[in-house]
Amino acid sequence: MEEERGRKAVDIKRPVILLRHPKSELYPSRAESETLTAMGYGFTPEIPVFGLNWTIDEINDYIYSLYPDVPLRTVGFKMGKCDRTKRIFTLKPVENVKELKDELGNSKLIIIPNEELPEKSTSRKKDNGNETDDSVTTTRRSERKAHSRYRIDDEEDYEVIIENGQNVKTKENTEDNHEEFSVEKILDKRSRNGKVEYLLKWKGYSEQDNTWEPEENLDCPDLIAAYEAQFETTTRTELDESEKANKRKNITEDNRARGFDRGLEPDKIVGATDASGELMFLMMWKNCKEADLVPASQVNLRCPEVVINYYENKEQWFCKQSVIEID
């Protein structure tokens, strides 16, 4: 039989990691990264997860059979922008497609290999002859060319689309082919390691897919401004209420009975001042710890003996904007 022409089939087995879609902001520590890289797992978080030693064909065919309308994605990550709140999904060993479905649920998948994906053979005989069809590749080669390994200093995440190996039209390398994630709203805010992070709700995804993202990674200034504005309004309202309460308190205090109007018996004078333009005595009352400033004219009239006792016990008298106090 004549040997098929076309690209040589690549049959490489390597560990892969399966993660939930759509966001996998998983950045390990330096020690974790070195350990996992040495084990052939690439830049993945926490401890190594279940590795499938499948060929690319086996991975592609088996997983795609569950999600025929979902292009599987491989993603490279930047280091340093940590979010350890999102846990990695661990795939347990399964016996059949049903068990795998039960294990994964109905979520989309992301496949992360430790190296670039090789191309598999697309040579196949046509029904009417031995000609081959090389129109389909399993990876977007133009995107892979610049990334022989996943590097930790990449400025942006990148992806490689894996087709299902069927005879489909090759996709052009345009931005239209990339799935974009849009922020629906901001739910919360926190500060971690000196950096501000926001909890995001993504359009088209459930609450379970909400993620914490560093402020520097976001491109939604309007949503951030709207989120911050609601707290500014709340703060302003709280301040207004506090000011009103203070005013009410001051009014109450101003209306409170003072001096002889309190109905208390004078005890002694402990000081005097004419700072207001009128001589005032600082009067202590019997069975009361709170003193009042009382006009001297009232004190002289109601309890002159208290005034005499005060002057007899004072050695000095300071006039004009001064206060005389006891020992």
DSSP, collapsed to helix, strand or coil, labels residue 293 as strand
DSSP, collapsed to helix, strand or coil, labels residue 252 as helix
C-alpha to C-alpha distances, 160 to 36, 118, 140, 177, nearest whole angstrom: 22, 11, 6, 11
DSSP, collapsed to helix, strand or coil, labels residue 309 as helix
Query: What pLDDT does 100 receive?
Result: 54
- DSSP string of 64-132? HTT-TTS-EEEE---SS---TTSPPPPPPP-SSHHHHHHHHTT--EEEEESSPPPPPP-----TTSS--
Query: What pLDDT does 311 receive?
Result: 83
Amino acid at 323: V
**In what helix (H) or strand (E) does residue 152 lie, and over which residues does it extend?**
none
Query: What pLDDT does 236 receive?
Result: 64
Select from 325, 327, 326 the least CA-distant residue to 273: 325
The answer to whether residues 180 and 146 touch, using CB atoms and an 8 Å cutoff, is no
Mean pLDDT of the chain: 58
The answer to whether residues 213 and 27 touch, using CB atoms and an 8 Å cutoff, is no
Report d(CA 178, CA 192) in Å as an integer: 30
Query: What pLDDT does 18 receive?
Result: 45
Query: What pLDDT does 64 receive?
Result: 53
Sheet order of strands, 183-192 included = 183-192, 195-202, 211-214
The answer to whether residues 280 and 274 touch, using CB atoms and an 8 Å cutoff, is yes
**Domains defined for the chain, CATH in brackets:** 13-179 (no CATH), 181-255 (2.40.50.40), 259-325 (2.40.50.40)
Query: What pLDDT does 84 receive?
Result: 37
DSSP 179: P
Low-confidence ranges of the chain (pLDDT < 70): 1-180, 233-238, 240, 244, 247-256, 315-327
All residues at 6 or more sequence positions from 104 whose CB lies less than 8 Å from its CB, including other chains: 18, 66, 89, 91
Report d(CA 74, CA 114) in Å as an integer: 10
**In what helix (H) or strand (E) does residue 20 lie, and over which residues does it extend?**
strand 16-20
Query: What pLDDT does 190 receive?
Result: 92
Sheet order of strands, 292-295 included = 292-295, 280-285, 266-273, 323-325
